[in-house]
Amino acid sequence: MKYEHIHGMQIPKVGFGTWTIGGRDAPDPGLDSVSRAALRSALELGYTHFDTAEYYAGGHAEELLGEAIREMGVRREDLFITTKVSPEHLHYEDVLTACDRSLRRLGVETIDLYLIHWANPRIKLAESFRALNQLVREGKVRHLGVSNFKLKLLKESVALSETPLLTNQVPYRLPEKDYAENGVVEYCQQNDILVTAYSPVKFRNLNVNATLKAMAAAHNATSFQVAMAWLIAQPRVITIPMSFNPAHQRENLEAMNLELTASEMEQLSNLYSR
């Protein structure tokens, strides 16, 4: 396992995302069985960072994650749990209420990392952070972060957070490099903030790209593993892929073992350049 060491912690370079676990924007009971199986296999394989949100399946993803942790008998202190507050809940009292609900659904006393899922232009960021800072002071949350924030809002968040902002969770992957081009990735790397790249292999055409296919063959890996290895080789970048398939879950973890050369990293960084 490879880690990012930051603020006295070690956080795995590869975690497990839970978008579509238990449903999409509302619970889907038809997905419960496969969702429980996916979470169990991820825990069995050794994933320790789990990322979820109150929005995912209307909170049901949090419930299923909490159930899986208890059923598998995994020690709470061995896990790093991230969840998020939705943009419609960013008023002061709403943030506090949303956090309490997430804690109940997860069945934990403390959330390791609590993020603003998306900014809400109708609610002042200062009001939201007043509540988030209060949650840290109360011990309900250990660390704060944001998601989908561009540079201006990210800098504002850093100034408003009473504790070091831990992450900005953004869509960053081959070929989507908007957050590298808009300065967010560089700012995070220069200011000790993790970039949490979500949906790291969403672009299915990666599998037919000639450069990726050649690198994959050279490393006895898949094109998706090469794309993930490019991400996690970058300083202060972690990722949270999701799969219902235990074999794919294992492949995602094994991408950490793939060592790309400086030349390969440069090739991939220039791939899909506009």
Catalytic (active-site) positions: 56
Residue 91 in 3-state DSSP?
A: coil
Cα dihedral 56, 58, 62, 65 sign: negative
175 upstream amide cis, omega within 30 of 0: yes
Q: What is the DSSP string of 58-89?
A: GGHHHHHHHHHHHHHT--GGG-EEEEEE-GGG
Residue 7 in 3-state DSSP?
A: coil
CA distances from 121 to 65, 90, 115, 210, 270 (A): 31, 10, 16, 42, 34
Contacts of 81 (CB under 8 A, 6+ apart): 49, 50, 52, 65, 106, 108, 111, 112, 113
Cα–Cα distance for residue pair 263/72, rounded to 1 Å: 42
